[in-house]
Amino acid sequence: MKVFSTIADFREARSQIKDRVGFVPTMGYLHEGHLALVRWARGDCDAVAVSIFVNPTQFGPNDDFARYPRDADRDLGLLAKEGVDLVFMPRGEEMYPPGFSSWVEVGRLTERLEGAFRPAHFRGVATVVTKLFNIVQPTRAYFGQKDAQQAAVIKRMVRDLNMNLDIVVVPTGREGDGLAISSRNIYLDSEERRAALCLWNSLRRAEDLWSKGERDAETIRQKMISFIQQEPKAKIDYVSIADPETLEELIEVKPPALILLAVWIGKTRLIDALLLGGNLSESAL
């Protein structure tokens, strides 16, 4: 495994690989969800590249950039065990040199849900991902379904800008009890960890209602909200049942339909998502 901190050195190494390259962009502090993406890339492609970069431009002033967990040595050890070929670990000034002033914006998809609660978040995401795609030149790039809005934004960006790669969305990695695997889970104490199960259990409740014939989106949404509100440590930012391509709210839940939610558990903000009546390969995700 070769590790690079500069764009020039990474590009030189990448130029030596003529076969298919699978790419997994990360912010580090890797967990089983990231490693699942790496394994999908390994199964699809001849070589695998991973980036580790905590991107400052996607964090707002009240977000957790400073305390976002970092452990480069641990990350590199995990990637080496997975047989990753190339790792790109740039410094902030390498990605955003003095005078940087160019941004990528994806429009309506970024104006609601996460975009409404975290202004400029997706501008930072779309910009850094575009830069990474330009540097890595992957055949395919891999994202998790938990970050469903992000995956939809990246897919739209790739399509609109005629980027020459495929985006693959991989099912959410979960703990044994269903909690979505996330780097932010380490912020939860034992009581908050228990409380956080309300996200997954509310998604399961929605899926059960839908499977039994309920098709009114607002009915399902309100039952999810009522369920989460029974947990005193939970505070809801949003619960959405939307079209997976446009992210517009649905009135009638016709498949495929995407359920997205963001909930504070104590001081930790968690997100999750579930696709109803479809599969990832056929949907906009």
- Average pLDDT on 202-229 reads 97
Q: What percent of the chain has pLDDT over 90?
A: 92
Of 142, 170, 198, the residue at which a domain comes to its end is 170
User: What's the pLDDT at 240?
Assistant: 98
62-105 pLDDT, tens digit each = 777 888 889 999 999 999 999 999 999 999 999 999 999 999 99
Q: Does a structural domain hold residue 48?
A: yes
Q: Are residues 149 and 199 in the same domain?
A: no
pTM of this structure = 0.93
Q: Are residues 130 and 217 in the same domain?
A: no
Q: Are residues 166 and 223 in the same domain?
A: no
192-201 pLDDT, tens digit each = 999 999 999 9
- Read off the pLDDT band of 209 (50, 70, 90): very high
Q: Are residues 216 and 95 in the same domain?
A: no
User: What's the pLDDT at 67?
Assistant: 83
Q: Are residues 126 and 262 in the same domain?
A: no
Higher pLDDT, 60 or 162: 162
Q: Does a structural domain hold residue 283?
A: no
Q: Which among 137, 62, 124 is positioned nearest to 95, based on CA atoms?
A: 124
**pLDDT at residue 284 greater than cutoff 90:** no
User: What's the pLDDT at 278?
Assistant: 66
Burial class (CB in 10 A: 0-12, 13-18, 19+), 67: exposed
Q: Are residues 62 and 130 in the same domain?
A: yes
Q: Are residues 194 and 156 in the same domain?
A: no
User: What's the pLDDT at 252?
Assistant: 96
- Average pLDDT on 266-275 reads 96
Q: Does a structural domain hold residue 21?
A: yes
Q: What mean pLDDT, rounded, does the chain reach?
A: 95
Burial class (CB in 10 A: 0-12, 13-18, 19+), 97: exposed
Helix (H), strand (E) at residue 202: helix 197-211
Q: Are residues 56 and 195 in the same domain?
A: no
**pLDDT at residue 283 greater than cutoff 70:** no
- Average pLDDT on 245-252 reads 96
Residue 177 near residue 246, CB atoms below 8 Å: no
Q: Are residues 36 and 102 in the same domain?
A: yes
CATH number of the domain residue 150 falls in: 3.40.50.620
140 DSSP assignment: E
Q: Which residues are catalytic?
A: 34
Of 137, 170, 203, the residue at which a domain comes to its end is 170
Q: Are residues 41 and 139 in the same domain?
A: yes
Q: What percent of the chain has pLDDT over 70?
A: 97
Q: Does a structural domain hold residue 176?
A: no
User: What's the pLDDT at 45?
Assistant: 97
Number of domains in the chain: 2
CATH number of the domain residue 247 falls in: 3.30.1300.10
Q: Are residues 123 and 64 in the same domain?
A: yes
How far apart, in Å, do the first and last CA atoms of the chain sit?
31
Q: Are residues 117 and 8 in the same domain?
A: yes
Q: Does a structural domain hold residue 255?
A: yes
260 DSSP assignment: E
User: What's the pLDDT at 281?
Assistant: 45
Of 170, 199, 221, the residue at which a domain comes to its end is 170
Q: Does a structural domain hold residue 59?
A: yes
Q: Does a structural domain hold residue 195?
A: yes
- Average pLDDT on 245-264 reads 96
Residue 245 phi, psi (nearest 5): -95, -45
User: What's the pLDDT at 279?
Assistant: 58
- Read off the pLDDT band of 151 (50, 70, 90): very high
User: What's the pLDDT at 63?
Assistant: 76
Q: Does a structural domain hold residue 108?
A: yes
Q: 200 lies in which domain range?
A: 183-276
- Average pLDDT on 129-149 reads 97
32-42 pLDDT, tens digit each = 999 999 999 99
